[in-house]
């Protein structure tokens, strides 16, 4: 069972409006199969889920431009749309890096609760500098391992901190409710990862089945698109929980 992320050589890959694909990552959806204007049609439009949740998780009185987690999630949707639209290396890197920054925004909010302003500035500066260096190397190296490792590290930093804060800052029914909400988000993320793996591992079988189903039913088996939808849900739930845990900080 291979887990390749570059399914090159599709019949229309070199005929698209944006030119031949140059991205390191190229997923199971056939290149330019639906229209010559979209490298991966379904994988492009499912990114609207990130945009939706960026706005959906704004609280009354909040503005997208003043909420780091929300604006970062919005840019995940925009950059991932651009990547799957064009299948270019430059847009792939923008997509990859946007995933770093939405996680970093959440990490910053969660770990600086109760800190002084100078400490917050220092932590934010170190986090930004570290990810900036990693981002530069990621762009230069034309590989995927550094992206995968960094993203996994950031995600791993989030969930135990959220559970700790829920246990220490919330009580009773409120605590049970938000643990439940965070578990739903976590389940969506894990399910999305499983589907992402299946999309890579069984691409040949999925493509044959999609051909037999035709459009639009075949769209339901574009599993990378479901990864977008499910991880957008997971991120949305995580942002909601984060805002509850940091509401006192944000009101100061």
pTM of the predicted structure, to 2 decimals: 0.91
147 is in an annotated binding site: no
Q: What is the CA radius of gyration of the chain?
A: 19
SS3 32: coil
Question: Tens of pLDDT along 27-38?
Answer: 999 999 999 999
Residues in CB range of 26: below 8 A, 6 or more apart: 5, 6, 7, 8, 87
Residues in CB range of 10: below 8 A, 6 or more apart: 30, 31, 32, 33
29 is in an annotated binding site: yes
224 is in an annotated binding site: yes
Give pLDDT, residue 148.
86
**CB neighbour class for 119 (10 Å; exposed up to 12, middle 13-18, buried from 19):** exposed
> Residue 249 corresponds to which tokens in the numbers above?
């900080």
Give pLDDT, residue 3.
40
Give pLDDT, residue 59.
92
Give pLDDT, residue 1.
36
Running along the chain, 252 residues long, what does each successive block of 10 average in pLDDT? Answer: 56 91 91 95 97 95 92 96 96 93 94 93 95 90 85 92 93 93 94 93 93 93 96 95 81 48
Contact criterion met (CB below 8 Å) for 18 and 86: yes
Give pLDDT, residue 131.
92
Give pLDDT, residue 144.
81
């Amino acid at each position: 069972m291979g887990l390749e992320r570059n399914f090159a050589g599709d019949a229309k890959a070199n005929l698209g409006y944006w030119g031949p694909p140059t991205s390191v990552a190229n997923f199971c959806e056939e290149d330019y199969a639906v229209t010559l204007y979209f490298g991966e049609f379904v994988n492009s439009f499912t990114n609207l889920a990130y945009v939706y949740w960026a706005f959906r998780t704004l609280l009354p009185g909040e503005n997208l431009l003043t909420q780091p987690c929300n604006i970062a999630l919005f840019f995940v949707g925009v950059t991932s749309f651009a990547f799957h639209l064009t299948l270019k290396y430059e847009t792939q890197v923008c997509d990859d890096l946007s995933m770093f920054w939405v996680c970093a925004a959440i990490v910053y909010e969660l770990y600086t609760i109760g800190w002084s302003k100078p400490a917050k500035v220092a932590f934010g500066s170190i986090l930004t500098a570290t990810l900036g260096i990693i981002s530069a190397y990621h762009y230069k190296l034309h590989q995927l391992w550094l992206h995968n490792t960094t993203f996994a590290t950031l995600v791993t930093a989030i969930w135990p901190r959220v559970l700790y804060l829920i246990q220490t800052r919330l009580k009773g029914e409120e605590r049970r409710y938000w643990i439940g909400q965070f578990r739903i988000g976590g389940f969506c993320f894990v399910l999305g990862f499983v589907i992402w793996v299946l999309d890579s591992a069984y691409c040949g079988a999925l493509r044959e089945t999609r051909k037999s189903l035709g459009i639009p039913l075949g769209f339901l088996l574009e599993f990378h698109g479901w990864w977008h939808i499910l991880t957008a849900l997971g991120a949305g739930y995580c942002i909601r929980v984060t805002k509850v845990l940091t509401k006192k900080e944000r009101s100061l």
